[in-house]
Amino acid sequence: MTAPVDAVRESHWDRSVKALIAGTFLSTAGHLAGVTALGKLVFDLTGRELDLGLIGLAEFLPVLLLVLLAGSVADRVDRRLICGVGALVSAAVAAALAAYAGTSPSAVLPIFALVVVTGIAAAFVSPASRALPADILAPEDLPWLVARHSATWQLALIVGPVLGGTLYAVDPSAPFVAMTVLYLLSALAYPIIRIRPRNSPAEAEMAAVIDEEGDEPTRAGLHHALEGLRFIRRRPILLGAISLDLFAVLFGGAVALLPAITEDRLGVGAVGLGWLRAAGGIGAGAVTLVLTQTPVVRRIGRTLLTAVAVFGVATIALGVTTSYWVAFAAMLVLSGADAISVFIRATLVPLVVPQEMRGRVLAVENVFIGGSNELGAFESGVAGQILGPAGAVVLGGAATVAIAGTWAFAFPALRDIDRFPGSAQPVERDVIILDELGP
């Protein structure tokens, strides 16, 4: 951790940043309110941990199948338009869920079908929305925005689950009505955002490196879509950071089993579930607030690996406890550790990818990172059905700790990276880091 960010950067609070922050909060809060209620609704209908995992699988499959198309679209179509249309589609799905939940349903198949539609929307929205912060500000100011963007997401991680759990206790359809309204409001924010022209020296250096490697963004078809995958494969820091999160979340996806854990082991209902999920937002939000003032800018590789290991240890604690308050504390710790790793990856990845390729690279990353949340939920559901919720969570936490240690040796370039490229550094330093990322 280093000195506070220069106060002059507070002047970056222009309408584009405010619109991005508002859109992120509204869409994320709506999504999490719906996810919290959805897990409770499905578990109330079937009582099976496996069905909680199938929700994650229904979300993940569209992301996996559409990765190449979604990335290419994010680099060819206005990213603000993609985010706005995706929000409208998600609002329509939420309205359908509200209508179905109000009919006293007995079948989960229609729910899974609607979740697939949200997965399709997320497949296109995720790479576009994650590229927007780097499209708004220059590379040297991106850590400033990433910290505040992450803080907004963490605030939504508190508000959304509490809203979803509380409204579900009143009426099962109510959280989906709230989800509809929040998504509709978020769709209004994206047209306000203005994209910054690429003109900084660091961006020019990155573009020159990519041009020399022959990755021309104008190539069409499958070659164009596959460039994001090739770009990641040739850069060990990117490959290490993205795959680290894939396996950590794949095995540490305890949140998907919270409906079963709260009912079977902790003895609380929908409101308790909502607050336990909100604990993730509280812990992550507290850490992110610290990062807004004292961001991680040195020894970022070792900090990332340490944060993932702490995430695993806290996951083990969540699995072994039968105390609600210990579980609450474990959620605080694991989400705080995850906030640090999210901050590092969200800053690092856009800074080493040129603007014209960010959609394709972030679409691939979305399969590894965003998709791994849903695939991790499926893995946790299957393991929970076999081992029980506690056994599945403990095993996943132990696997996450082992992965952090393994990656420290398997990806020395990631472990030893010290600074973010383009962040409070001269261009010469950026070129050195780009060389380290090369084939």
Stretch 277-298: mean pLDDT, rounded?
77
Mean pLDDT of the chain: 75
Stretch 285-300: mean pLDDT, rounded?
76
pTM above threshold 0.85: no
What pLDDT, on a 0 to 100 scale, did the predictor assign at position 213? 46
Per residue in 163-208, pLDDT (tens digit) is 888 898 888 899 999 999 999 999 999 888 887 765 555 545 544 4
Lowest mean pLDDT among 199-208, 267-276, 305-314: 199-208
Does the structure show a pLDDT above 50 at 156?
yes
Confidence grade of residue 104 (pLDDT, cut at 50, 70, 90): confident
Does the structure show a pLDDT above 80 at 402?
yes
What pLDDT, on a 0 to 100 scale, did the predictor assign at position 439? 31
Confidence grade of residue 429 (pLDDT, cut at 50, 70, 90): very low
Does the structure show a pLDDT above 60 at 259?
yes
For residues 150 and 343, the answer to whether their CB atoms sit within 8 Å is: yes
More confident residue, 214 or 48: 48
More confident residue, 214 or 376: 376
Stretch 249-265: mean pLDDT, rounded?
70
More confident residue, 93 or 243: 93
> Of the ranges 140-144, 193-197, 216-220, which is most confident?
193-197
Q: How far is CA 367 from the centre of its chain?
A: 11
What pLDDT, on a 0 to 100 scale, did the predictor assign at position 95? 94
> Of the ranges 3-7, 127-131, 188-192, which is most confident?
188-192
Stretch 111-117: mean pLDDT, rounded?
90
What pLDDT, on a 0 to 100 scale, did the predictor assign at position 283? 82
What pLDDT, on a 0 to 100 scale, did the predictor assign at position 284? 78
List the domain boundaries for the chain. Answer: 7-437
For residues 240 and 301, the answer to whether their CB atoms sit within 8 Å is: no
Stretch 303-325: mean pLDDT, rounded?
86
State the distance between the two ends of the chain, measured CA to CA, in whole angstroms: 30
Sign of CA dihedral 294, 295, 298, 301: positive
Stretch 29-52: mean pLDDT, rounded?
83
**DSSP class of 106:** -
Stretch 271-292: mean pLDDT, rounded?
78
Q: Could you tell me what percent of the chain has a pLDDT over 70?
A: 73
User: How far is CA 282 from each of CA 38, 299, 340, 341, rounded to the nearest angstrom?
Assistant: 21, 26, 14, 16
> What residue spans of 11-141 are helical by DSSP H?
15-46, 49-65, 67-76, 79-101, 109-136
Q: What phi and psi, each to the nearest 5 degrees, are found at residue 222?
A: -60, -40
Architecture of the 7-437 domain: Up-down Bundle (1.20)
Confidence grade of residue 268 (pLDDT, cut at 50, 70, 90): confident
Q: Could you tell me what percent of the chain has a pLDDT over 90?
A: 8
Per residue in 8-20, pLDDT (tens digit) is 445 567 788 888 8
Tokens 């409208």 appear where?
88
Stretch 302-312: mean pLDDT, rounded?
87
Per residue in 365-388, pLDDT (tens digit) is 666 665 556 666 666 666 667 777
Closest to 46 in 3D by CA, of 38, 58, 34: 38
**DSSP class of 299:** S
What pLDDT, on a 0 to 100 scale, did the predictor assign at position 51? 76
What pLDDT, on a 0 to 100 scale, did the predictor assign at position 176? 93
Using CA atoms, how far apart are residues 91 and 31, in angstroms rounded to an integer? 10
* List of residues 6+ apart from 15 with CB closer than 8 A: 192, 194
At 408, list the tokens.
């420290």
What pLDDT, on a 0 to 100 scale, did the predictor assign at position 227? 67
Lowest mean pLDDT among 61-65, 104-108, 201-205, 389-393: 201-205
What pLDDT, on a 0 to 100 scale, did the predictor assign at position 37? 87
What pLDDT, on a 0 to 100 scale, did the predictor assign at position 199? 54
What pLDDT, on a 0 to 100 scale, did the predictor assign at position 374? 61
